[in-house]
Structure 1
Amino acid sequence: MEVRHIQDPSTASSFELHWGYPSRVVPCTNDRGSCEYLDVVYHSHDLGLIYTGIFWLTIAAILLLWGLTRLFPPSPASSAVKYDLCVEESHGASRQPSLVRLRSSIAAWTRRYLLPECLVSLFGHTTRLQVVILATLVAYLTVWTFVGIVYKTWITPVKNLPNVHNTRTSLGPWADRVGVLAYALTPLSILLSSRESILSLITGVPYQSFLFLHRWTGYIILTQSVLHTIGWTIVEARLYQPQPKVWNEFVSQLYIIWGWVGLGLLLLLWLLTLPWAIRTLGYEFFRKAHYVLAMVYIGAVIGHWQALQCYLIPGLALWFIDRTVRLVRTAMLHYQYLPKKRRMGFAAADAAVTIYEDKESGDVIRLDFSQYQRPWRIGQHYYLCFAESSIWQSHPFTPLNDPTVTHGTVSHSYIFRAKTGETRKIADLVLAKALGGGTSVEQQPAPVTTPVILSGAYGQGISEDLSPTDNVLCVAGGTGITFVLPVLLRLAKQAPRSNTKIELIWAVRRESDIGWIGAELGKLRDTLGQQRGVKLHVFVTREPVVEKMVSGKFNSRASTDVKSTPVDISASSNASAPSSDGADEPRLSISHPVTTQTPQSRRPDLREEVDRFVSSVESGPTVVFASGPMSMIQHLRGAVAAKNNGGRVWKGETQCDVRLVCDDRIEW
């Protein structure tokens, strides 16, 4: 029977079992102070396990209520409108039930105060809402860290050393409590990091929205581990006597050695998450090292305190389930009939490649291919692995097209900028293929393809809950157009919308960048031609000339081009002319700011643009879809938050109900 502390098992008449802790010798034959100290140690440990149970029951209760809310949404008949957890649809104060107006006004109030970013230098680009959730978690854990412990000091004798005394305090029980909470948080940290997220299935929140909490939960575990180590170091190296005998015996034990190993691995995990480490070593090294070190860390802390492995084994299981499901999903996407081999098998998708050369900022690559599968939901993304470069890396990209099934296949189109790393390798491979075929960059290139392996789709749909009364503003920066363009393409397929506005604001570096999505812009022009209030604005930040309005054809590039040519946008004299039914024909407004402005100042003023758009709507709420640099998203969050007004929404002014849907995942 394993015993610890100041107990002698030879004097025991029985052993008192304590889950997750060594058994206690009963009765206590030590001095009175030592027996009181042991009472506090074991009682505090038992309470600590109860508190961790309450902590997990609280999380389970929140998830259960959240899941039930999504599983049994309010009846449209009873509420007269359809709404989700983020935003409600408004139909005017006279027709809208009080409960719906109340929920809409609360949502608008919440966005106004919790949508802007907070302490960016410390937390990065994250909203006040996420910081509030983190603060709530920290406060909750702080309560469980200190309650239920008797804080007292006992001076006890040391056997056979009459002039030497031990100082026994509540520091030891407190350090144990902190350690138990660190163990209990481990599976939560892994849940928050999973791509195949159980939390997303229950809540409908995209997995990438949990990454902020995953990172800070890891920091909390590190802090708890350091405090646990410091606490017991003080106890064993200073308070217990005689020294250095007690300390030397303590640190030579195997479970203590494993504890030091675990703390070292945790510190290394933290160091590798720092921006300078990721920049120096590369993101792929960080990601793979993070996986390996995390698994070894869990093994080390099991060796440190095996009695609490009940918290750690589920964490390992969750990680392996996540990886297994990823492989299964990829296999299901690519396991199909192979005509050449006349059998079923695994086959990568052959993606036709177009390169739009940009030596200053990095070439832009477009991929086009078809795959036998079910269509994804707009807003979801796939992880793409470029098999010719490395099968050990994959990167997230959002399809820019509206997914539709044609003869069992769904077309995929992606654009991304090749700067460094894997995307640069792909650009170089494609150029090498073309030149290897005897084609110079200046000549008409031969068809170029590259095999792509997909994993996904991931994330949540963003357009299913759009109401005919919603006004839609799409904001994109550069290749961020892939997130918002499918929303416009889907709206183009729907019945014409009355008394609503649809607008695109897209910031690009050069006018020729419009050619990335020339075919899609042409489709928008053709299908949205009879709708009112449809406008497309492009802000060019690196070619300062005059501003102009154009309306005409958008020529797409052949998918096998290796070098792009300028996009053909034919100016028309009737660009602003109304159609016969009085509806405004959609136009592409290309703005080239004056030469004296810097590229930063040539970008659209998002606060001004959001204010202009929301002020111009006749009725109904506004949904802003956005993707681009994090600095752009930061300004947009503040602009959208400022336009929300819960009091005016309650009065029926639905224009003050403005929702933001942004692509906040990390693109590499």
Structure 2
Amino acid sequence: MSSKLDARHIQNLSAAATLELHWGYAERALPCTNNAGSCAYLDAVYSAHDLGMMYTGIIWSTISGVLLIWAFLRRFGHPTTSPAPALSRSSGIERGRRAFAAFIRQYCLPDAPRMIFGRTTRLQVLVLAALAGYLLIFSFVGIVYNTWVTPVSGMDGVYNTRSSIGPWGDRIGVFAYALLPLSIMLSSRESLLSMITGLPYQSFNFLHRWLGYIIFVQSSLHTIMWCIVELRLYQPQPSVGVEFITQTYIVWGIVAMILLILLFALSTPWGIRMTGYETFRKAHYVLAMVFIGACWGHWEQLKCFLLPSLIFWFLDRAARLFRTALLHYKPDEAGTLGFKTVDATITRYGDAENLDVIRLDMDNIQEPWATGQHYYLCFTQGSIWQSHPFTPLNAPVVVKGKVKHSYILRAKKGETRKIIDLAATGVSSTPIILTGAYGENITESLRPDANIICIAGGTGITYVLPVLLELAQQSPSPDRKMELIWAIRHTSNKEWISEELGILQRAQKALNLKIRIFATRDSSEDSPYDTKEAVNISVFNEKDAGQDSQNSSSESQSCGCENEAPVEKLGGKSEKGNSHPDLHKLIPGFLNEVVRGPTTVFVSGPGGMISDARGIVASCSSGSKVWGGQDRFDVSLVCDDRLEW
């Protein structure tokens, strides 16, 4: 490794009395026998590098400390699921914890600027800003900023210009290497971070993407700085530049930079649209691993960061295969163990020309999943190289060792379109390979006195429906108020979940559940329900807490009877003939009827629906009022993050 730096640093290794080791860098020849300027420059280079390595340790120590504290609080500070006293009578610690959570939701839950960050919360952007600021500070601290003009040995009148951009370029290059393990951890489906924090792996997608952008900027600046040094500041040119560019480690550096540019270009929204998501995903896997290999060839002294990256990547893939094997390796009738797909029964909705939704039902011998978790489904009749995430719409129940899965698929491009086209030909079943379950139990921390409002758009019903079905199997809580709001295109779409909807209708009275369904593309002049009448539209404020919702005509929809759930048709209420339920009225209208207890809002649907829900929940939350004992202002949101996938 020292030979790579001989020409650049003009170190006389043959005259050195000793070689001083530097972790992650080349050995330094001591004593320095060059001119004073070169020796001063070498002092600055090695000092900056040693400090940079120490700073990477500080960065990783900070990350590890945060995760350790998080794991401790999750283990010993988790809120109880038993009935809790009113906040005014609860302990100061519990009231403070819930008040702080409400305060964070109030200011950090709404979407950040969407043109820059897409559909993500302010909290995600705040975490990113903290990480970026941390890196920015350490990128500049501890570097000697100076310029040294030194003569070129044996060439009169020719001088090298040595400046601080060299050690600064090395510093950000080291940081780019140091962040690679974190980037791999943030992208893993079998996530170590999820095990520590309890957050689902898809919650880290935003940070993975933007950390990749940071690594790209760091690597680009590292490359630019050393190109300026070697191709302009070092003399004589072009001989120094040619010698520099032909060195093996520089060739590997160029290869790594080209691969990183491809990774960056393909991961942008424009790149994904041009190549398709599946092409992007497969290319991302391959390019990332080859990129890490090229980084190893460029600077193997920093393999302390590269080796963990590779290990995390291969462990993730191995764990995925293991999960799949647990679900599919079973003995047959003869007792022979082998891999077997699961046959799913196909139910079609619509005719062959207008078929865009199907339902899949299957039974599999396995352990039940947790409510809110999802599986990756591989449709072998389409392609064995692709799988897609779907949430089971039913509650997990074991019957004779088997668990039933039910899914709703809407036709999009790619594999789902192939399966729906196959169903249109009359095929009644299809073999499927499952991988999972992934995600968090979304009802794990749900208190018995917590009020629940479930909001879904279209096939997003599969995320919120299991919550209600699971609660229907439990003893009812008299203090709990529940509501289901489902926006569908057509009234006939209720057929997707007719069986599950019937279960909820029969349990309406016991659950204190109101079911509201909106058809956004159907219109009817004599529709008996009107949005303005069906919802209490008063502003959500403190004085409404004890008021009865007498202005709401929605009582007819929550009678607890077993009649078919009514549908409000919205299609003729806008010029486009495609209105949507107004969450800015529906959610506050529900909260106005809440007498006591916190409220959890479950949402799954289009990105616009989730963004609206985030803003509304934030506006209805108040940390100061929760601290004052008013627990109805403790409003939390649980949403399906699949829109980020």
Query: TM-score surpassing 0.5?
Result: yes
Partner of 2:386: 393
Residues in 1 aligned to 2:576 and 2:312: alpha-carbon distance in whole angstroms: 46
Corresponding residue number in structure 1 for 2:145: 151
Specify the alignment match of 1:14 in structure 2: 18
After TM superposition, give the deviation of residue 387 of structure 1 in Å. Answer: 1.2
Tell whether 2:89 aligns with 1:109.
Answer: no
**What displacement does 1:577 show?**
9.7
TM-score, structure 1 normalization: 0.89
Paired with 2:406 and 2:558, the residues of 1 have a C-alpha distance of 33
- 3-state SS in 2 of match to 1:368: strand
What is the CA distance between 1:664 and its match in structure 2? 0.8
Look up the match of 1:63.
Answer: 67
2:482 is aligned with what amino acid?
I
**Could you tell me which of 587, 591, 600 is aligned with 1:610?**
587
1:524, CA displacement in angstroms?
A: 0.9
1:281 aligns with 2:275: yes
Q: How far apart are residue 427 of structure 1 and its match?
A: 1.3
Q: How does 1:297-316 map to 2 (within 5 A)?
A: 297-316=291-310
Kindly provide the CA deviation profile for residues 416-457 of structure 1, in whole angstroms up to 9, marking residues without a partner as x: 1012210011112233354xxxxxxxxxxxxx1111110000
Aligned to 1:38: 42
Q: Which residue of 1 aligns with 2:433?
A: 453
Q: How far, CA to CA, are the matches of 2:164 and 2:354 in structure 1? A: 60
Letter in 2 for 1:128: R
- Secondary structure (helix, strand or coil) at the match of 1:353 reads strand
Provide the C-alpha distance between the structure 2 equivalents of 1:586 and 1:122, rounded to a whole number of angstroms.
48
2:629 equivalent to 1:625: no
User: Which residues of structure 1 form unaligned runs of 5+?
Assistant: 84-88, 435-447, 550-574
Return the alpha-carbon distance in structure 2 between the equivalents of residues 628 and 472 of structure 1: 17
In 2, distance between residues paired with 1:35 and 1:479?
68
Aligned residue number for residue 429 of structure 1: 422
Q: Given the alignment, which residue of 461, 479, 483 partners 1:503?
A: 483
Bigger drift between 504-513 and 329-338 goes to: 329-338
Q: Deviations over 1:132-187 (max 9, x none)?
A: 00000000011110111111111111112221211111110000000000000001
What fraction of aligned residue pairs are identical, expressed as a percent?
54
CA distance in 1, matches of 2:351, 2:21: 70
Deviation at 1:362, TM superposition (A): 6.0
Change (3 A) 1:310 1:348: same
Number of the residue aligned with 1:567: none
What is the root-mean-square deviation in Å for CA atoms of aligned residues?
Answer: 2.1
Which sections of structure 2, spanning at least 5 residues, go unmatched? 530-554
1:109-134 CA distance string (max 9 Å, x none): 10010000011111110000000000
Change (3 A) 1:586 1:243: farther
Q: Distance in 1 between matches of 2:405 and 2:143?
A: 59
Change (3 A) 1:130 1:308: same
Opposite residue 496 of structure 1, the aligned amino acid is P
Matched residue SS, 2:260: helix
Alignment of 1:182-331 (within 5 A): 182-331=176-325
Q: Distance in 1 between matches of 2:2 and 2:516?
A: 73
Residue 594 of structure 1: CA displacement? 5.9
Given that 1:361 and 1:419 are in contact with CA atoms closer than 8 Å, whether structure 2 keeps it comes out as no
Mapping 1:339-418, distance limit 5 Å: 339=333, 341-357=334-350, 363-418=356-411
Is 1:487 aligned to 2:467, yes or no?
yes
Query: Alignment partner of 1:22: what SS?
Result: coil
Contact 2:355 2:420 in 1 (8 A): no
Tell me, yes or no, if the aligned pair for 2:514 and 2:557 is still in contact at 8 Å.
no
Q: 2:570 aligns with which of 551, 574, 593?
A: 593
Q: Which residue of 2 aligns with 1:440?
A: none
The one-letter code matched in structure 2 to 1:43 is S
Residue aligning to 2:520: 541
Contact 2:598-2:635 within 8 A present in 1 as well: yes
The 1:225/1:537 distance shift into structure 2, 3 A limit, reads same
Q: Give the equivalent residue in structure 2 for 1:520.
A: 500
User: How many angstroms does 1:195 deviate by?
Assistant: 0.2
Aligned to 1:2: 2
Any idea what SS the aligned residue of 1:18 has? coil
Mapped to 2, the partners of 1:103 and 1:162 lie a distance apart of: 72
User: Aligned partners of 2:182 and 2:579: how far apart in 1?
Assistant: 44
Equivalent position SS for 1:522? helix
Once residues 201 and 351 of structure 2 are traced to their aligned partners in structure 1, the CA distance between those partners, rounded to angstroms, is 33
C-alpha distance in 2 between matches for 1:191 and 1:590: 45
Q: Deviations over 1:301-332 (max 9, x none)?
A: 11111111111111111111100110011001
Q: Separation in 1 of the partners of 2:274 and 2:36?
A: 58
- Corresponding position of 1:571: none
Give the C-alpha shift of residue 377 in structure 1: 0.2
Query: TM-score, normalized by length of structure 2?
Result: 0.92
The corresponding residue for 1:651 is 628
Q: Tell me the secondary structure at the aligned position of residue 471 of structure 2.
A: helix
Which deviates further from its counterpart, 2-11 or 386-395?
Answer: 2-11
